[in-house]
Amino acid sequence: MKVQYSILYQDPSLILADKPQGVATGFGEKRNLCEMIFNDFPELKKVRGYNSNEGGLLNRLDNETGGIVLFAKHDDSFDYYSDLMKAEKIAKFYTAVSEGIPAHQKGMIDIPLAHHLKNRKKMTVVSGHTKYRSTPREAKTEWELIRTEDKFSLLNICIRKGMRHQIRLHLAHIGLPIVGDKLYNKKKYPGIENHLFYAHGIQFVSLENKKIEIYTDVPFIKDRIGDAAK
């Protein structure tokens, strides 16, 4: 398993890092991306960010989710990119291997989410008489089927504004849980260490007014999607 990050893109205001699966984004666990980044770019620790010890970190990925994480290089760029995210002007693309075959080629899941009433590790969809903690938040997940194999589907997913576990929970809700997801997929996959979910692409207009499109390889996708699920 890859345990070191790579730099996908950088300019005077921003760094895009490719986080390995199984590595936390922020501090709190032994292996985390912030510590790796700050060791190589100590100036990023001084950026005024969301939390004092996380510097210019702009977005998070779950520990088992690999892929693109953004770091601002200075306060002005942090303000610019955090505002861009709030305005839903950064498109983020994900790859998922799901269990099940969708009935349609593409779709939009538009269902609010909130914190699970009893399990603090989970989120829940808010519909009907669902009980939950916290205030529900709107969440939209756009998905497209790339191909199928046996009982598995390879999906491309796009979000412009995300919340905790959004894509994982939305897909599970429509009957397409991600393979290896220990929270939202009832089926166990003993041979899979990290769920098959990766943040592989991003599109936005930079602080320097350049259109940026960055994509990275998805390590668990080879020629056969079924192989990834074994």
In eight-state DSSP terms, residue 118 is: S
- Residue-level pLDDT at 202: 98
Same domain, 97 and 78: no
Residue 212 lies in a domain: no
**pTM of the shown model:** 0.94
pLDDT of residue 6 exceeding 60: yes
Same domain, 144 and 56: no
Residues 152, 226 contacting (CB under 8 angstroms): yes
Reported as a pLDDT band with limits 50, 70 and 90, residue 30 is confident
Same domain, 139 and 118: yes
Same domain, 97 and 198: yes
Q: What is the mean predicted confidence (pLDDT) over 113-135?
A: 84
Reported as a pLDDT band with limits 50, 70 and 90, residue 2 is low
Taking the C-alpha atoms of residue 100 and residue 173, their distance in angstroms, rounded to an integer, is 12
Residue 209 lies in a domain: no
Q: Which pLDDT tens digit goes with each residue over 70-96?
A: 999 999 999 999 999 999 999 999 999
Same domain, 225 and 149: yes
CA dist list (Å): 187 to 66, 94, 109, 183, 205: 21, 22, 22, 10, 40
Same domain, 226 and 128: yes
Q: What is the residue range of 136's domain?
A: 91-202+221-230
Reported as a pLDDT band with limits 50, 70 and 90, residue 22 is very high
End-to-end CA gap in the chain: 16
For residue 225, give the CATH number of its domain: 3.30.2350.10
pLDDT of residue 112 exceeding 90: yes
Same domain, 32 and 115: no
Final residue in a domain of this structure, among 24, 59, 87: 87
Final residue in a domain of this structure, among 66, 87, 108: 87
- Residue-level pLDDT at 1: 47
State the total domains in the chain: 2
pLDDT of residue 31 exceeding 90: no
User: Burial of 90 by CB count in 10 Å (0-12 exposed, 13-18 middle, 19+ buried)?
Assistant: buried
